[in-house]
Amino acid sequence: MALDKNKTGIMAAISAATEGMAEPKGASASARAHRTLPKGTVGSVRAGLGGIQSIETSVILAWGPQDRLALTQANAPVGDDVLDLMESIKASGQQVPVLLRPATDRDGQFEVIYGRRRVMACDALGIPVKALIRTLDDGEALIAKGLENAGRQDLSFYERARFALAILAQGHSREEAQQALSISKQSLSQLERVARLIPDAVGVAIGPAHGAGRPKWMQLAAAFEAGQVTDAVMLKVIGGLPEDVPSDLRLQAALDHLARRGTRDVRPAERHPIAGSVIKSTKSAVTVTVKRAGAPDGFADWLDRNIDRLLEESYQTFKSEAGG
């Protein structure tokens, strides 16, 4: 999938959403009709109108990997951020449109690419949502969502981790995930590791923890990887806190529990991340062994050819993170 083919158009849509700009009146509706919809369907027609439109929230569906933790919970109560949006919209109106695309299998309905909280706020207020409607395929929609997130820069590390894992789980490539999040291969691996190792129930119970960065979440992930803590124990720790304890303090309480148990350094002495491999960690050294007979075919030879480069890249990543 050539993700760059319509990036200019996507950026124009985002610019229009943030600045309230409409498309030129002479634009052709048929030229923008959704590729997967029969000509003349309601979705295609609405997509071809251009400009900002008022759309009833009842015809707006969720789409794609979710980027905000609160929206991943079924029947989640309206959060403070949505309540704030409701107050703002009541006082000043909806200032920034959402981005929608026609639903591919439900005529007259739309999928929200970004702006879910605005949709939730308008739905709670019982009013239509102001929207731009664009005909984007999955790759283009993913880029638009990622670019809008990058523009806000208000997703927490853990929300970004869940977003990254959701992108991959929906069948997008690692390159697409990197492009959507504007991150390196190493950063994607770290995000994926955190989201994969920390049980969903624990992450949801803790919350986004906007004030916590990579080290704290990686420490918790390592504890689960080493089997030093279970989700039941961690849920009990978090569940014992008052309901109004902020998310950052819930995460800190989880880490304090690990520290009290003497599990601050939770990596086991010997690990086997893939077949035929052994990683041994002692106070004096870290050794990696890959058996040619036990590892996947050809992997040991490939590693032998690339180990110098991999170590150099890892060292540069270490220096970058240590300096940050």
pLDDT in tens, 2-56: 334 334 444 444 444 333 333 333 333 333 344 444 444 555 556 556 678 888 9
Round the CA-based radius of gyration of the chain to a whole number and report it.
Answer: 23
Q: How many domains does the chain have?
A: 3
pLDDT at position 176: 79
What is the per-residue pLDDT for 262?
61
The H or E element spanning position 114 is strand 110-114
73 and 182, same domain (yes or no): no
The answer on 164 and 55 residing in a single domain is no
Strands 52-55 and 277-281, bridge-based pairing:
unpaired
H helix intervals, 110-230? 116-125, 138-152, 157-169, 174-181, 185-197, 200-206, 214-225
Q: Are residues 275 and 317 in the same domain?
A: yes
**In terms of domains, do 27 and 58 share one?**
yes
* Residues 129 and 174 sit within 8 Å (Cβ to Cβ): no
CA-to-CA separations, 305 to 134, 155, 308, 309, 312, in angstroms, rounded: 47, 39, 8, 9, 13
The residues, ordered by sequence, that sit 6+ positions from 157 with a Cβ below 8 Å of its Cβ are 191, 194, 209, 212, 213, 214, 217
| 206 C-beta neighbours (distance < 10 Å), count | 25
Q: Are residues 229 and 180 in the same domain?
A: yes
Q: Are 188 and 219 members of one domain?
A: yes
CA pair distance 8, 144, nearest whole angstrom: 10
Distance between CA 103 and CA 61 in Å, rounded? 8
Q: How many Cα atoms sit within 13 Å of 46 on the Cβ side?
A: 23
Q: Are residues 137 and 12 in the same domain?
A: yes
From 150, 182, 215, the end of a domain falls on 150
Torsion of CA 225, 230, 234, 236, to 10 degrees: 180
Residue 107 lies in a domain: yes
pLDDT for res 64: 61
The domain boundary residue, chosen from 150, 178, 201? 150
The reply to whether 106 and 196 lie within a common domain is: no
Same domain for 277 and 224?
no
Residue type, 65: P
Judge whether 160 and 203 are in contact, CB under 8 Å.
no
Same domain, 175 and 226: yes
Query: For 199, phi and psi rounded to 5 degrees?
Result: -55, 140
pLDDT, position 206:
93
pLDDT digits (tens, 9 = 90+) for 248-268: 999 999 999 988 876 444 455
Query: Are 210 and 120 part of one and the same domain?
Result: no
Cβ atoms of residues 118 and 85 within 8 Å: yes
- Residue-level pLDDT at 43: 58
Domain span at residue 178? 156-260
Which regions in the chain score pLDDT beneath 70?
1-50, 64-81, 146-154, 262-269, 283, 320-324
Domain boundary among 130, 150, 170: 150
